Chain A
Amino acid sequence: MIRRSLILDTTVRMVFDGILVLSVYLLFAGHNQPGGGFVGGLVASAALALRYIAGGFDEVRSTLRFRPWTLLSAGLLLAVGTALVPMLFGRAALNQHALEWNIIVLGKVKATSATVFDTGVYLVVVGFVLMIFEGLGDDPDDARRDLHGEVS
């Protein structure tokens, strides 16, 4: 087992959810305030990076049910889909569409197709960073052998 720092571990667990919420906030707020899918994705990835530093790739895997490529392809599909849907109605690709609802308590809620597109971007970014972990991060067997097997 890789040595784990208790303090780091606990701190990471405490802030992890908060960072994720922040990333989702950035994603949705992005259209009118600083933020957006790209930054949101990066922040979420940073949260996952913390988990990774604290507990290795196993920790990330146990946190997240999806494999990196699933996220990546889902994001790309979502973005391409949003781009193509307007073409079905004879408009230019990525044409904006906005809907507004008045919901009790929340007040006026506006949803734009841009948010869907941005969600795609968000997923792609998270997927990409996870791919980096997957590719360059430690393969548990490999790392253990590198650390203990041969050199000792």
Chain B
Amino acid sequence: MLLFSLILHAVCGVVALVAGRRLGRYVWLVGAAAPAATILWLVANSSRAASADGVVARMEWVPSLGLALDLRLDAFSALMMVLISGVGVLVYAYGWQYFGHAHRGGQAAGLLTLFAGSMLGVVVADNLLALYLFWELTSITSYLLIGLDDDDPDARSAAQHALLVTGFGGLTMLGGLVVLGQQAGTFRISEIVAAPPSGSATSVALVLILVGAFTKSAQYPFHSWLPGAMVAPTPISAYLHSAAMVKAGVYLVARLAPAFAEEAVWRPLVLSVGLITMVAGGLRALRPADLKQLLALGTISQLGFLVVLFGIGRPEATAAGCALILAHGLFKAALFMVVGIVDHETHTRDIDQLPILGRGWGMTRAVGLGSAASMAALPPLAGFVAKEKAYAALVDGSTVDRLTLAGIVIGSVLTVAYSLRLGYALVRPDIVSSRRSARPEADHAPGPWFILPGAVLALGSVVLGLVPALWSGLVDQAALALDPASGAHLELWHGFSLPLVLSLVTLAGGVTLFALRRSVAGVQERTAFPLTGTRVYEASVRGTLELAARVTSVVQSGSLPIYAAVILSTAAIAPVVALVTGRWWNGWPEVIGKPAHIPIATILLAGCVAATLARRRFAAAILLGVVGYGMALFFVVQGAPDLALTQFAIETLSVVAFLLVFRVLPDRFERRAPAVRRSARLAVSATVGIFVMLMAIVASGWRTEPSVSREMSERALPDGDGRNVVNVILVDIRGLDTLGEITVLATGGIGIVALARAGRGLRRSGATRQRRMPAEQEVVAT
């Protein structure tokens, strides 16, 4: 069924893409079918998913390489599935309203379904390489979704930014996954986590994998793509950039942490990156006037929080992470939906422009405020339950745990502050804006169906907060699946304890920070860090392009003599290494075999010498032909009629091909080349000539293994049904080689035509006219 679900996503996605225009808005039903079926299946099979073994599926892929598509659904994957498919279905309902009959709706729905399938693949893959495959598929679908409005250059560049950063991380991660798989001796995640390898190679692998996870989950210093990705339509942001894709990195950290947290590199790296992200993201979320940017930066901060909770590798913290990942999905997706509705109805999401959301906006406002309260961890909401759990998990631990706790509290204070900012923007935007003038009321309100999906999510935040028993089991099982030592018990009321005090401190701190927002903004303005992530990204892209241009201009000089010299001298000098290092001279081979060799050799030599002395290109080509025919004669004498026949035909055609090219070249060779160039050419030719000759003589004197030709001759008739051994070798024994060669031939032919046509186009446009003029004059003169 796991496999079926993935295939269903692919099919629904493709159908939605293909038939998008014809289906109109009903395309969202097609798209939603796959996630809806998945979530129904999950509900029906929840007991199996919660069992220790989980649900396992396996499909052989490339058995000879040991590659198989291993899928495994345990309780933690089930938790992610709830997020991906559950929130997914609501996002489709929202997209139905948001896109309406807009012409990109079909594309959006189809791509979202493909994305949902890929994301599902990430969380159920039990093989590192399969995980990587799905991981990259989410990157690609995310790229297409961010760039959905491909007429918009901002959307295109933001999409590219996201793709380059996550793609870079993905490649880095691939390296880490391969090393980890080699170290563990298996690529199955469940086996690796059960018996984790250790050592320095493993440490390197972990660092590489973490880089991938950090880029995907927008951790500092790779966070810069996420705010840019907000150019995507809001349903996409709500899904990819809050609930699903950005959680992929967190998912990977969560999977590996219980096994590898004790590695020396793990905690310092994960905790520092996570805490910096949490605090820096929170600080930056206090600034933007664009509500979507605020949410994006808040998401970065929360992702940092999640990375810390999972990454610290303590059983209790893992359980808290499981709770928070769900709570965050609920409130953040709802908030995105609310901001999307505001944007959709009032055509702005800028705090400085927002009208007062008055009549008819009650429901939207309630959903927004409720979700923001859950984000700020106000009791009795789901966010509060999760954060209490997080505080409680770290309060009794070691020094590291307590320092981490301090960082989390600071981050949470910031979260409260920006949540307040968001809440006020929905109720009284003039208070949090720099523009204090009175606002008009919004002239129309959203329909009730538009807010329904958000309302469902907000209701979830409230109900799960009030009745923690509802999700305690799910979180408990998920944490157990990650770390058998963990035990989670979610509670709304822990009694008067340190975590509660910390929660109160957090709220008080956040409110204070919000009250002092003007002075805080002033301080931030003055101490702004000059090096932003976006600038680093832009500089690195620019640098790469410049480097590429420079390397290209050196390597691809465009000078045919230099290309020829490089290729030929490489071919001549590379074998020298073998000649010099080995015991190389094994005596002269038989110099003259048959009397007939003498006249043939004379022809060959004469042709060669004459070709080098020829003044005209045409004469040189003919003389080369003579050399070729001489070789063919040689084959005839040696009793190789097939070779001779081929050689004759090739030589004939080569001369014709030469003639074709000569029409656009000067008739004669350069008459007075500079002495330096002449001697350089002479040196290259001499080197090539001498070494090729030496190589031929030495190689023919060094047969160590018996020749295979005898066996081939014997097997030609019984195996290949042919008496011409050469032909049987070509079409049967070495048939695949021939297939490869004719493919090369075909590619070469296409290349010739393409190059010639491109050149002709240039000539027509006159770009090369100037360069060709002297040549033509010369032709005329002769």
Q: Which residues of A contact B (CB under 8 A)?
A: 26, 30-39, 42-43, 45-46, 49, 52-53, 68-69, 72-73, 75-76, 79-80, 83, 93-94, 96, 98, 110, 112, 114, 117-118, 120-121, 124-125, 127-129, 131-139, 142-143, 146, 150-151
Interface pair B653/A45, CB less than 8 Å apart: yes
Chain B residues closer than 8 Å to A139, beta-carbon distance? 760
> Which 5 A-B pairs give the minimum distances between C-beta atoms?
A135-B756, A42-B649, A131-B749, A31-B722, A94-B735
Given the interface pairs A131-B753, A135-B757, the reply to whether A142 lies near B763 with Cβ below 8 Å is yes
Q: Which residue of A lies closest to B646 (CB)?
A: A39
Q: Which residue of A lies closest to B660 (CB)?
A: A136
Given the interface pairs A35-B645, A39-B646, the reply to whether A118 lies near B727 with Cβ below 8 Å is yes
Question: Among the listed A46, A98, A117, which residue makes an inter-chain contact with B731, where contact means beta carbons less than 8 Å apart?
Answer: A117
Q: Which residue of A lies closest to B720 (CB)?
A: A96
Q: Which residues of B contact A (CB under 8 A)?
A: 641-642, 645-646, 649-650, 652-653, 656-657, 660-661, 663, 719-724, 726-728, 730-732, 735-736, 738-739, 742-743, 745-746, 748-750, 752-753, 755-757, 760, 763-764, 776-777, 780
Given the interface pairs A52-B656, A68-B749, A142-B760, the reply to whether A83 lies near B736 with Cβ below 8 Å is yes
Question: Among the listed B721, B739, B752, B764, which residue makes an inter-chain contact with A114, where contact means beta carbons less than 8 Å apart?
Answer: B721
Interface pair A128/B745, CB less than 8 Å apart: yes
Q: Give A147 Cβ to nearest chain B Cβ, in Å.
A: 10
Q: List 6 A-B contacts (CB under 8 A).
A: A69-B750, A114-B728, A131-B752, A131-B753, A132-B749, A151-B776
Interface pair A114/B720, CB less than 8 Å apart: yes
- Compute how far the CA of A26 lies from the CA of B724 in the bound complex, rounded to whole angstroms: 12
Given the interface pairs A32-B724, A142-B760, the reply to whether A127 lies near B660 with Cβ below 8 Å is no
Chain B residues closer than 8 Å to A32, beta-carbon distance? 722-724
Chain B residues closer than 8 Å to A83, beta-carbon distance? 735-736, 739
Interface pair A30/B724, CB less than 8 Å apart: yes
Q: Give A38 Cβ to nearest chain B Cβ, in Å.
A: 6
Q: Which residue of B lies closest to A120 (CB)?
A: B742
- Compute how far the CA of A73 lies from the CA of B723 in the bound complex, rounded to whole angstroms: 29
Chain B residues closer than 8 Å to A94, beta-carbon distance? 731-732, 735-736, 739
Interface pair B653/A36, CB less than 8 Å apart: no
Interface pair A72/B723, CB less than 8 Å apart: no
Given the interface pairs A31-B723, A96-B719, A114-B720, the reply to whether A46 lies near B649 with Cβ below 8 Å is yes
Interface pair A151/B735, CB less than 8 Å apart: no
Given the interface pairs A31-B722, A49-B656, the reply to whether A121 lies near B742 with Cβ below 8 Å is yes
Chain B residues closer than 8 Å to A118, beta-carbon distance? 727, 731
Interface pair A38/B646, CB less than 8 Å apart: yes
Chain B residues closer than 8 Å to A128, beta-carbon distance? 745-746, 748-749
Q: Which residue of B lies closest to A117 (CB)?
A: B731
Q: Give B113 Cβ to nearest chain A Cβ, in Å.
A: 33
Given contacts A114-B728, A121-B730, A128-B748, could you give 9 more A-B pairs where the C-beta distance is less than 8 Å?
A32-B724, A36-B731, A68-B749, A72-B749, A79-B738, A94-B732, A114-B720, A121-B731, A121-B742
Chain A residues closer than 8 Å to B646, beta-carbon distance? 38-39, 42
- Compute how far the CA of A49 lies from the CA of B656 in the bound complex, rounded to whole angstroms: 7
Given the interface pairs A120-B742, A138-B663, the reply to whether A112 lies near B653 with Cβ below 8 Å is no
Interface pair A112/B721, CB less than 8 Å apart: yes
Chain A residues closer than 8 Å to B723, beta-carbon distance? 31-33
- Compute how far the CA of A146 lies from the CA of B724 in the bound complex, rounded to whole angstroms: 48
Q: Give A33 Cβ to nearest chain B Cβ, in Å.
A: 6
Interface pair A31/B728, CB less than 8 Å apart: yes
Interface pair B721/A36, CB less than 8 Å apart: no
Given the interface pairs A76-B743, A96-B721, the reply to whether A36 lies near B736 with Cβ below 8 Å is no
Chain A residues closer than 8 Å to B721, beta-carbon distance? 31, 96, 98, 110, 112, 114
- Compute how far the CA of A139 lies from the CA of B735 in the bound complex, rounded to whole angstroms: 37
Q: Give A34 Cβ to nearest chain B Cβ, in Å.
A: 4
Given the interface pairs A53-B656, A151-B776, the reply to whether A135 lies near B753 with Cβ below 8 Å is yes
Interface pair A136/B657, CB less than 8 Å apart: yes
Chain B residues closer than 8 Å to A151, beta-carbon distance? 776-777, 780
Question: Among the listed A120, A131, A136, which residue makes an inter-chain contact with B661, where contact means beta carbons less than 8 Å apart?
Answer: A136
Chain B residues closer than 8 Å to A45, beta-carbon distance? 649, 653
Interface pair B727/A43, CB less than 8 Å apart: no
Q: Which residue of B lies closest to A134 (CB)?
A: B753
Chain A residues closer than 8 Å to B749, beta-carbon distance? 68-69, 72, 127-128, 131-132
Given the interface pairs A94-B735, A110-B721, the reply to whether A135 lies near B656 with Cβ below 8 Å is no
Chain B residues closer than 8 Å to A93, beta-carbon distance? 735-736
- Compute how far the CA of A34 lies from the CA of B646 in the bound complex, rounded to whole angstroms: 10
Interface pair B650/A42, CB less than 8 Å apart: yes
Chain A residues closer than 8 Å to B724, beta-carbon distance? 30-36
Chain B residues closer than 8 Å to A112, beta-carbon distance? 721-722
Interface pair B755/A114, CB less than 8 Å apart: no
Chain B residues closer than 8 Å to A79, beta-carbon distance? 738-739, 742
Interface pair B755/A135, CB less than 8 Å apart: yes
Interface pair B739/A150, CB less than 8 Å apart: no
Interface pair B736/A43, CB less than 8 Å apart: no
Q: Which residue of A lies closest to B645 (CB)?
A: A39
Chain A residues closer than 8 Å to B642, beta-carbon distance? 34-36, 39
Q: Which residue of A lies closest to B726 (CB)?
A: A36
Q: Give B260 Cβ to nearest chain A Cβ, in Å.
A: 43
Chain A residues closer than 8 Å to B753, beta-carbon distance? 68-69, 131, 134-135
Given the interface pairs A121-B738, A136-B756, the reply to whether A46 lies near B653 with Cβ below 8 Å is yes
Question: Among the listed A127, A129, A131, A136, which residue makes an inter-chain contact with B653, where contact means beta carbons less than 8 Å apart?
Answer: A129
Chain B residues closer than 8 Å to A146, beta-carbon distance? 776
- Compute how far the CA of A73 lies from the CA of B542 in the bound complex, rounded to whole angstroms: 41
Question: Among the listed A39, A127, A137, which residue makes an inter-chain contact with B746, where contact means beta carbons less than 8 Å apart?
Answer: A127
Q: Give B263 Cβ to nearest chain A Cβ, in Å.
A: 46
Q: Give B723 Cβ to nearest chain A Cβ, in Å.
A: 4
Q: Give A37 Cβ to nearest chain B Cβ, in Å.
A: 7
Chain B residues closer than 8 Å to A129, beta-carbon distance? 653
Chain B residues closer than 8 Å to A38, beta-carbon distance? 646, 730
Question: Among the listed A46, A68, A124, which residue makes an inter-chain contact with B742, where contact means beta carbons less than 8 Å apart?
Answer: A124
Interface pair A42/B653, CB less than 8 Å apart: yes
Interface pair B752/A135, CB less than 8 Å apart: yes
Chain A residues closer than 8 Å to B653, beta-carbon distance? 42, 45-46, 49, 129
Q: Which residue of B lies closest to A93 (CB)?
A: B736
Chain B residues closer than 8 Å to A53, beta-carbon distance? 656
Q: Which residue of B lies closest to A138 (CB)?
A: B663
- Compute how far the CA of A73 lies from the CA of B753 in the bound complex, rounded to whole angstroms: 14
Chain B residues closer than 8 Å to A35, beta-carbon distance? 642, 645, 724, 727
- Compute how far the CA of A35 lies from the CA of B660 in the bound complex, rounded to whole angstroms: 27
Question: Among the listed B649, B719, B738, which residue makes an inter-chain contact with A39, where contact means beta carbons less than 8 Å apart?
Answer: B649
- Compute how far the CA of A110 lies from the CA of B720 in the bound complex, rounded to whole angstroms: 13
Chain B residues closer than 8 Å to A120, beta-carbon distance? 742
- Compute how far the CA of A139 lies from the CA of B764 in the bound complex, rounded to whole angstroms: 12
Q: Give B211 Cβ to nearest chain A Cβ, in Å.
A: 41
Q: Give B686 Cβ to nearest chain A Cβ, in Å.
A: 31
- Compute how far the CA of A125 lies from the CA of B642 in the bound complex, rounded to whole angstroms: 16
Chain A residues closer than 8 Å to B641, beta-carbon distance? 34
Q: Give A25 Cβ to nearest chain B Cβ, in Å.
A: 12
Given the interface pairs A34-B642, A38-B730, A133-B660, the reply to whether A72 lies near B746 with Cβ below 8 Å is yes
Interface pair A76/B746, CB less than 8 Å apart: yes
- Compute how far the CA of A52 lies from the CA of B659 in the bound complex, rounded to whole angstroms: 12
Question: Among the listed A31, A46, A125, which residue makes an inter-chain contact with B727, where contact means beta carbons less than 8 Å apart?
Answer: A31
- Compute how far the CA of A67 lies from the CA of B678 in the bound complex, rounded to whole angstroms: 43
Between A46, A75, A138, the greatest number of chain B beta carbons within 10 A of the residue's beta carbon is seen for A46
